[in-house]
Amino acid sequence: DIQMTQSPSSLSASVRDRVTITCRASQSLSSHLNWYQQKPGKAPKLLIFAASSLQSGVPSRFSGSGSGTDFTLTISSLQPEDFATYYCQQTYSTPWTFGQGTKVEIK
């Protein structure tokens, strides 16, 4: 199985900060990497697919980059509604696996 490791596991940031979350895979994924946002008690929401494609309706402050084994989710200017947990997911090979999550908290 492909192991997905996110860093950091949690971070504290302020509104308008630039935030970067990293996801590393145990083997190459090409660009088969997606990012989700999840708020407490809610289902995950797709933000980025295929490493860098912005899902329809998602604000442009979210962006994704990377290929192979190293990927990044960037929030260019953190907004109050962005405080949540973020997960990466690989869909290069089954079983599809998720990172352990990164919790973004208010500083």
Partner 1 sequence: EVQLVESGGGLVQPGGSLRLSCAASGFTFSSYDMHWVRQATGKGLEWVSGIGTAGDTYYPGSVKGRFSISRENAKNSLYLQMNSLRAGDTAVYYCAREFEVGAFDIWGQGTMVTVSS
User: Which parts of this chain interact with partner 1 (CB under 8 A)?
Assistant: 1, 31-32, 34, 36, 38, 43-46, 49-50, 55, 87, 89, 91, 94-101
Cα separation, 38 vs 83, whole angstroms: 9
Cα separation, 10 vs 51, whole angstroms: 21
**Least distance between partner 1 and beta carbon 20 (Å):** 20
First to last CA, the chain: 36
Select 72 or 100, whichever has its Cβ closest to partner 1: 100
Tell me the one-letter amino acid at 3: Q
**Least distance between partner 1 and beta carbon 60 (Å):** 18
Element at 46 (helix H, strand E): strand 45-49
Select 45 or 61, whichever has its Cβ closest to partner 1: 45
Phi-psi region of 33 (alpha: psi -120 to 50; beta: other; left: phi over 0): beta
Select 9 or 20, whichever has its Cβ closest to partner 1: 9
